[in-house]
Chain A
Amino acid sequence: MAQNIKILPGATVCEDCTLEGDITIGGGTVVHPRVTIIAEGGPIIIAEYCIIEEYSTIIHKKSDKQENPPKPLFIGAHNVFEVGCKLESPFGHIGESNVFECKSYVGVDVKIGSGCVIGAACQLTVPQSLPDNTVIWGSEHHNREALEKQPSQLLQLDFLSKVMPNYHRLRKPNLHKRQPSRPSQEGAKV
């Protein structure tokens, strides 16, 4: 698999994590140690101000119905991936301000809007699309619609990006020019 990891300035990416394939990590995003991001089916683009916590896994799965060139998996801004969550999505788009709580699982063919919360240990395996502000929780997968998006974690991000460098080796940002967060911008590489 071709390694092509692009880390934008302002992103905090720990060295001790598995990044494979064509991955772009936006500015302000914090990637904790032991995170696995695998772009085997196509590029993964993570926008700004996301938090990806320990042991979470994001996989862009290979699939038979893939377009050529493969469509990137675009993860919007302000998403929070809590400890041990898993996202396996071969297609499309994850909105912004979503929260994937601890040990949650989002399978193939699940479309996620914005402001959604996948509760701790909730498993989404059936093809479906979650409208904006859907909250799923509990072992019985109760769901409700929140009135507004989840509050942003800017304070937490600020803290993490200050503290992380003191305790972990970080990957250096390798893109110096700020990009608009758009898929497939190969040219801006320095």
Chain B
Amino acid sequence: MAYLTQPDFVRYVCSCGQLKPITNLYFCRHCLKIRCGFCICHEVDSHYCANCLENMPSSEARLKKNRCSSCFDCPSCFHTLSTRATFAQTRQDPAAGDAKVENKQAKKMYYLSCFNCRWTSRDVGIPDQPVASGGWPERPNPFSARINQLLDYYKAIAQQEKQEKLDRERKKFAIRGKYITLTDKTGLTGAMARNIAGLPSSESSSSAIANFVPSVASAEVEELPEDYHLREINLKQVTTMAQRLASPEWQPASVARLHPVARPLSVKRSQRCRACDHNLTKPEYNPGSIKFKIELLAFYHMPEVKIISHESVKPGQQSALLLKVSNPTSHEMALRLLPPDHQAETETDETTETHEKNEPKSIEKSLEKSLNLEKDTTWSKVIERKPQMPALSQICIPEVTLTLAQRDDAAEYDDDPQHDTSDIILWRKSNKLALRLKVSTDPSAEVGQPAQVALSLQYSYRNTVPPSAQSAQHRDHTLTTTVLLDLGTVCE
């Protein structure tokens, strides 16, 4: 049960140990594991402006400092500014007489206005523009020279470190004497290779480092004006912290100095399984489209559990729990309920095997790997954790295997429930199943503490990935997932 405005009553345990509602989870069809936003690789596909939907490559976005050149945000409330047109009477001195009548045709002038807080570009004295888009005055950054200097410096340092690492790596292989490096083979020197690769030569980068002047802290601070503590302040004239931080270049202290903020770009993002490098989601390129080319959401592949209702949980007593389980896949699903500590051991063995298989690789690969921090595979050990399972309340697990029919959109329309009910099955309707379960609570449970129960589901899953040439994948799998149900608080 996961909704926008409600707390998450049912949470699934991701393969990394995070607890997430099913709507926040992905399912890798290649690893057959649940993945969540925490344990997958996020990649930027394209940059676009969410207001005008202009698409741009990342190089251009970087050049524009990841901001749209034609859209602005309100500096006062951060809502998008709209362009408004006015008919400006061309100002003429009264002596002009007849010319005034002829020139009655008003000129269209444009200004920016916020529909939320009604801030306008006129409020801070930005003159109206004769064209609808573009041409708004830009305020120069007073520290641009220093920032560029710093950027050059850090770029040079990064360049140098990369170079050193590359050299070290090459030396390592040279000592072994077993492999021929690219430079040995072709007679290229390091400088030439750098030139070909379009990287700046080491001399220029060292000059940027040598010429850099670090900033010096100074004890001398400008004196505050005499009346600083005595002057009455008008809070409407003072900007808020958020308003100042929205334009870090100027950090205006007075509302009269607010300036439209160029709208930050949004990104289209694709997500990738870290273990097998397959895409989990890939959006369509067009920023106007909200569809996906690849969309492996857990919602489409795993049995979904919802709480219909439950009796309040009391220490030392049993309470009824009604669950609804639905099968979103287009194949029949066999379902077994298991106690939560029953983790699937077989699956973990498989993955370690594949890791070992991947180990022996060519030097190029290992060289690349050592240069590329993101490809580090130790991540899984770092982030993986065991979620804490509630122990005080337990579900009495019935020893049955249930079958869930495949999803059938047409079945929505016939509404007589099938009558194969039992003491566990409350009702059954196309791919949905209502279960009547019992929760027993330990007498030591404290009143007022959150009442939670865990439950593992073992379900059959048919893989619909077309089998690749190398690996003969079997299509039917038995997978296990653990859900955590939130049953309010322990009552008296």
Chain A residues in the interface with B (C-beta under 8 A):
117, 119, 135, 137-138, 142-148, 150
Residue in chain A with minimal CB distance to B236? A145
Show 22 A/B contacts (Cβ-Cβ < 8 Å), sorted by A.
A117-B118, A119-B116, A135-B117, A137-B77, A138-B77, A138-B117, A142-B117, A142-B240, A143-B236, A144-B76, A144-B117, A144-B236, A144-B255, A145-B236, A145-B237, A146-B118, A146-B119, A146-B123, A147-B120, A147-B122, A148-B122, A150-B118
Residues of B within 8 A of A144 (CB): 76, 117, 119, 236, 255
Residues in chain A near residue B77, CB distance under 8 A: 137-138, 142
| A119-B122 contact in complex given A143-B236, A144-B255, C-beta closer than 8 Å | no
Taking A137-B77, A138-B77, A142-B77 as contacts, is the C-beta distance between A147 and B123 under 8 angstroms? yes
Instruction: Determine the chain A residues whose CB is within 8 A of the CB of B118 once the complex forms.
Output: 117, 135, 137, 146, 150
Do B117 and A137 have beta carbons less than 8 Å apart?
yes
Interface residues of B in 74-111 (CB under 8 A from A): 76-77
A146 to B77, CA, bound (A): 13
Rounded to whole Å, the gap between the CB of A65 and the closest CB of chain B is 31
CB nearest neighbor in A for B125 = A147
Contact A119 B236 (CB under 8 A): no
Which B-chain residue is minimally distant from A150 (CB atoms)? B118
Number of interface residues of B (CB under 8 A): 13
CA distance A147 to B116 in the complex (A): 16
Interface hub of B118, B120, B255 (most chain A Cβ within 10 A): B118
Give the distance in Å from the alpha carbon of A119 to the alpha carbon of B116 in the complex: 8
CA distance A137 to B79 in the complex (A): 12
Contact mask for chain B residues 115-131; partner A; CB cutoff 8 A; 1 contact, 0 none: 01111101100000000
Could you say which residues of chain A place their CB within 8 Å of the CB of B117?
A: 119, 135, 137-138, 142, 144
Contact of A137 among B116, B120, B255 (CB under 8 A): B116
Residue of B nearest to A147 (CB): B123
Q: How far is the CB of A112 from chain B (nearest CB, A)?
A: 15
Distance A30 CA – B76 CA, assembled complex (angstroms)? 32
Q: How far is the CA of A142 from the CA of B79 in the complex (A)?
A: 13
The interface residues of chain A lying within 8 Å CB-to-CB of B122 are 147-148
- Residue in B closest to A120 when the chains form the complex, CB atoms: B116
Measured between beta carbons, the chain A residues less than 8 angstroms from B116 are 119, 137-138
Nearest residue, chain B, Cβ from A148: B122
The 9 closest A-B pairs by CB, nearest first: A147-B123, A145-B236, A137-B117, A135-B118, A117-B118, A137-B116, A144-B236, A135-B117, A146-B118
A146 to chain B, nearest CB (A): 6
Closest to B240 in A: A142
Since A137-B116, A144-B119, A147-B123 are in contact, a sample of 9 more A-B pairs with Cβ atoms closer than 8 Å, ordered by chain A residue number, is: A119-B117, A137-B118, A138-B116, A138-B117, A144-B236, A146-B119, A147-B120, A148-B122, A150-B118
Residues of chain A within 8 A of B123, CB atoms compared: 146-147
Q: How far is the CB of B51 from chain A (nearest CB, A)?
A: 20
**CB nearest neighbor in A for B114:** A137
A119 CB contacts on chain B under 8 angstroms: 116-117
Closest-CB distance, A1 to chain B (whole angstroms): 37
CB proximity of B5 to chain A, nearest CB, Å: 15
- In the assembled complex, how far is the CB of residue B255 from the closest CB belonging to chain A, in whole angstroms? 7
Q: B257: shortest Cβ distance to chain A, in Å?
A: 14
Query: A53 vs B296: C-alpha distance in the bound complex, in angstroms?
Result: 47
Shortest C-beta distance, A60 to chain B (Å), equals 28
Q: How far is the CB of A153 from chain B (nearest CB, A)?
A: 14
In whole angstroms, what is the CA distance A119 to B76 when docked? 14
CB-defined contacts of B76 to chain A, threshold 8 Å: 144
A148: chain B residues at CB < 8 Å are 122
- Whole-angstrom CA separation of A138 from B242 in the bound complex: 15
> Considering the chains assembled together, what is the distance between the CA atoms of A135 and B76 in angstroms?
11
Residues of the B chain whose Cβ atoms lie less than 8 Å from the Cβ of A145:
236-237
Closest Cβ–Cβ distance, residue B117 to chain A (whole Å): 5
Within 8 A of A (CB), among B267-302: none
Report how far A146 CA is from B255 CA in the complex, Å.
11
Nearest A residue to B242 via CB reads A142
CA distance A150 to B84 in the complex (A): 13
**Alpha-carbon distance A145/B240, docked complex (angstroms):** 14
Contact with A along B236-261 (1 / 0, CB 8 A): 11001000000000000001000000
Q: Residue of A at shortest CB range from B258?
A: A144
- Find the B residue at minimum CB distance from A137: B117
Mask of B196-237 contacts with A, CB within 8 angstroms, 1/0: 000000000000000000000000000000000000000011
B60-83 interface bits toward A, Cβ cutoff 8 Å, 1 = contact, 0 = none: 000000000000000011000000
Which residues of B in the span 118-148 have a Cβ within 8 Å of any Cβ on A? 118-120, 122-123
Give CA–CA (A142, B77) in the complex, Å: 9
Kindly list chain B residues whose C-beta atoms are within 8 Å of the C-beta of A150. 118
Interface residues of B in 445-471 (CB under 8 A from A): none
Bound Cα distance from A135 to B255, whole angstroms? 14
Measured CB to CB, the nearest residue on chain B to A117 is B118
Among B116, B237, B240, max chain A CB count under 10 A is at B116
Residue of B76, B120, B236 contacting most chain A CB atoms (<10 Å): B236
- Nearest chain A CB to B252's CB is how many angstroms away? 14
A147 to B123 alpha-carbon distance, docked (Å): 5
A39 to chain B, nearest CB (A): 30
CA distance A144 to B237 in the complex (A): 8
